[in-house]
Amino acid sequence: MTIHSTARSPSPMSADTPHLSVVQKEAHATLSGVTRYFQKSDSKELFHALGPIDLTLHKGEFFSVVGPSGCGKSTLLDTLSGLATPTDGAVLFEGREIKGVPDGVGVVFQEDASFPWLNVRDNISFALRMAGMDGAEVQRRVDYALAFMGLKDFARAYPAQLSGGMRQRVCIARTLVQQPRLILLDEPFGALDQQTRLLMGDELLRLWRETSATVLLITHALDEAAMLSDRVGVMSSRPGLFIDIVETGWERTRDSRIVSTPRFGEVNARLWEKLRVESLKVMGAAHGH
């Protein structure tokens, strides 16, 4: 197979799946020249964390971001979610500049963000109730999310009574009930074992297919990125820039079984080739080279 970079080949899927490439071309979120500096705590100096980044997420695509630790991935997600404002540049969602968390954007954080004092049902309905949504609609959405995420039998359980994978499902369900059109996930399966991660990946693919949402997933696991995504953006060491964007060419109906295909190995190898160099830079800096 050939693995395409969008920079060189804008529509590698068009030969056999023209309809898909048309669907994937509509811009959903756009970052233009997005740069982030932080104030250093011990001096007046500024710390360059990210960018400038130019990136367009296409409507309905599954885009993953990999990059060395500390390169600015979470900073990128914060900017895209409207939780943080870039120092420079602009972020558009559905054609409008983002100011604060826009309606239609849902975030799943790396850490388990469920409320330990609420049961599963109340955790999932929390944001809807806070927003003053009609009770019957809340119930309808929560019932759907419980069934979709396989949590129906655990609606009355408390987070402490669940496994790590199930708690993460609760967090995804909390986002799902808000019916986001853009879902941002920051290393959501980081703490899970390999086989649970693969199965959670399948759940995420099912959710992506069923909701038609655009997904941006940050992950440190190259195999996860390679398996789940339409495109994978590889970031450089800090300040993070996209050094490669790999198009996988997977069918929309894919699942974790593609990990046994030769094509998967090739995508993985391409990602690692780029990331290895960047990760060595970070390690070299840590060892004073």
Ligand X SMILES: Nc1ncnc2c1ncn2[C@@H]1O[C@H](COP(=O)(O)OP(=O)(O)OP(=O)(O)O)[C@@H](O)[C@H]1O
Site residues (CB under 5 A) for Mg ion? 73-74
The residue at minimum Cβ distance from Mg ion is 74
Angle between the N-to-C axes of helices 120-130 and 135-148, in degrees from 0 to 180, rounded to the nearest 10:
140
- For the CB of residue 102, give the shortest distance to Mg ion in the complex, in Å: 21
Task: Give which of Mg ion, ligand X, none residue 72 binds (C-beta under 5 to 8 Å, depending on kind).
Answer: ligand X
CA angle 213/171/275 to nearest 5° reads 70
DSSP for 168-200 reads HHHHHHHHHTT--SEEEEESTTTTS-HHHHHHH
Nearest CA to 46 out of 31, 36, 56, 59 is that of 36
Task: Give which of Mg ion, ligand X, none residue 79 binds (C-beta under 5 to 8 Å, depending on kind).
Answer: none
177: tokens are 């009930």
Stretch that binds ligand X, among 18-26, 68-76, 91-99, 138-146 (CB under 6 A): 68-76
Q: Which of residues 157-186 bind ligand X (CB under 6 A)?
A: none
Q: Which of residues 46-65 bind ligand X (CB under 6 A)?
A: 47, 49
- For the CB of residue 150, give the shortest distance to ligand X in the complex, in Å: 28
- When the beta carbons of 34 and 149 are compared against Mg ion, the nearer one is 34
| H helix count then E strand count, the chain | 8, 11
Report if residue 75 touches ligand X, rule: CB under 6 A.
yes
Report if residue 71 touches ligand X, rule: CB under 6 A.
yes
- When the beta carbons of 30 and 75 are compared against ligand X, the nearer one is 75
Burial pattern 41-59, b for ≥16 Cβ within 10 A else e, equals eeeeeeeebbbbbebbbbb
Identified binder of ligand X from the candidate list 23, 52, 56, 70, rule CB under 6 A: 70
Distance between CA 241 and CA 71 in Å, rounded?
8
CA quadruple 35, 268, 201, 112: dihedral positive or negative? negative
- When the beta carbons of 98 and 176 are compared against ligand X, the nearer one is 98
Report if residue 106 touches ligand X, rule: CB under 6 A.
no
Distances (CA, A) of 81 to 86, 216, 223: 11, 11, 25
Identified binder of ligand X from the candidate list 231, 238, 270, 274, rule CB under 6 A: 238
Site residues, ligand X (CB under 6 A): 38, 47, 49, 67, 69-75, 220, 238
